[in-house]
Amino acid sequence: MGEGISDYTKFVVDLRRHMWMAGVEMELRRLIWQIAVTGKYISAKIHESNRKLAGLRNVYGEEQLALDRSADEILKNQLHHSGFVRQYASEEQEAIVEIGQGNGKYYVTADPLDGSSLVDTNLSIGTIIGIHRETFLTEGERSMVAALYITYGPLITMVYSAGKGAHEFVLNREGEYVLSQENIRLNEQGSIYSLGGLRKDWTDGHRQFVEFLEGRGYKLRYSGGFVPDINQVLIKKGGIFTYPALKKNPHGKLRLLFELQPMAFIATQAGGMATDGHRDILSIPVEELDQCSPIYIGSSFEIRKASEFLEQAS
């Protein structure tokens, strides 16, 4: 048995080894690892959840689950003791939180539990993290150095990028994140689409784009959770997720800093694109913590086609 285990482990690449082999700088490696480990604690909290609402609303007026608040506290407390983080910004916090001694190198953003409203239906949910070298309130392409998301589903998986490709890891029975897919690459064109927003509220350009996809036989795949839907596009190697500008809400629904920038960073590293229909998501300056933006993210063919339809209709 001992020889069998030894033979197996020779071919296993865990997260720490992968980051070291990829040349990720030491402090960033340690921070990503710590956040990945924190995902284990959040997963444990999900499993013991009783699905009950906390009876509160977050700073954006959305109903909070006790689980949202617990995930946020777990992340904040873990980062406080990391020694590498200066500030923490979260969807669950009213303002930026100063972390540690104030001399850390990194600034971390979080959607601690994306899709938490899906908990009672037992669908996949996730955690989204952005890691910046400079203050958050700037263009993501200038400040972001890494991003990751963790999916809590039948398997617990993590996809991370430190600017050297996008890589998927699976949490195994021994509690180690082991490499599942290295250098994930999106095909130029996919065959699935995931749509947010009500059809009656779509703009003409967006509606025409969706009709174009339907005419080409794209398959609708939408769970109502950003993490599982993006993960499906990424792991299936193509397609598009979109939550567009709506007639009554031209800024869309998803938050630029906490959700869109990290996912755009990962999608771009996987050879895809992410825009608001016109501009690259990572080039949009963040002026407010709660700033929202439309999003088209996935394979390059679909993103470019979306831009064409939106421009023609404008």
Q: Give the CATH number for residue 62.
A: 3.30.540.10
Q: Are residues 155 and 17 in the same domain?
A: yes
User: What local confidence, expressed as pLDDT, does residue 52 receive?
Assistant: 53
Number of domains in the chain: 2
The pLDDT score that the predictor gives to residue 117 is 80
Tell me what the mean pLDDT of segment 12-37 comes to: 94
Residues found in the chain: 314
Residue 59 domain-assigned? yes
Q: Are residues 171 and 42 in the same domain?
A: yes
When pLDDT is cut at 50, 70 and 90, the band that residue 112 belongs to is very high
Place of tokens 């064409």: 308
**45 shares its domain with 154:** yes
Q: Alpha-carbon distance 37 to 301, whole Å?
A: 36
Is the domain of 122 the same as that of 264?
A: no
pLDDT at 9: 46
The verdict on 116 and 215 lying in the same domain is no
149 located within any domain = yes
What would the mean pLDDT of 66-84 be, rounded to a whole number? 90
Residue 262 included in any domain:
yes
Average pLDDT for residues 130-147, to the nearest whole number? 88
Q: What integer pLDDT is reported at residue 145 of this predicted model?
A: 96
- CB-CB neighbours of 80 under 10 Å: 15
Among 21, 309, 297, 304, smallest CA distance to 186 is for 297
Residue 280 shares a structural domain with residue 304: yes
**Is 165 found in the same domain as 118?**
yes
**Residue 228: domain span:** 192-313
Structure token pair of residue 14: 């865990």
Confidence of residue 63 (pLDDT cuts 50, 70, 90): very low
Last residue of a domain, one of 147, 181, 215: 181
pLDDT-based confidence at residue 51 (cuts at 50, 70, 90) = low
- Do 83 and 205 lie in a common domain? no
212-215-217-219 Cα dihedral, nearest 10 degrees? 50
Q: In the prediction, which pLDDT does 65 show?
A: 66
Q: 231 phi and psi, to 5 degrees? A: -60, -40
Residues 165 and 201 in one domain: no
Query: Is residue 4 one of the residues assigned to a domain?
Result: no
Is the pLDDT score of 100 beyond 90?
Answer: no
3-state SS class at 140: helix
The identity of residue 170, as a single letter, is: V
Structural element, H or E, at residue 65: strand 63-65
Q: Look at residue 266 and tell me if it is in a domain.
A: yes
- Report the CATH number that the domain containing residue 211 is assigned in CATH: 3.40.190.80
Q: How many angstroms separate the CA atoms of 181 and 226, rounded?
A: 21
Could you say which of 136, 153, 181 is where a domain stops? 181
Q: What pLDDT band is residue 50 in, cutting at 50, 70 and 90?
A: low
pLDDT of residue 53: 47
Mean pLDDT of 296-303: 98
Is a pLDDT exceeding 50 seen at residue 2?
A: no
Domain shared by 202 and 296, yes or no: yes
Residue at which a domain ends, from 181, 212, 245: 181
Is 187 part of any domain?
Answer: no
Buried b (16+ CB within 10 A) or exposed e, 237-261: bbbbbbbbbbeeeeebbbbbbbbbb
Confidence at 64, pLDDT banded by 50, 70, 90:
very low
Is residue 5, in this structure, part of any structural domain at all?
no
State the pLDDT confidence band at 226, using cuts at 50, 70 and 90.
Answer: very high
Kindly state whether residue 197 falls inside one of the protein's structural domains: yes
Classify residue 241 as left (phi > 0), alpha (psi -120 to 50) or beta: beta
Same domain flag for 158 and 204: no
Q: Are residues 37 and 170 in the same domain?
A: yes
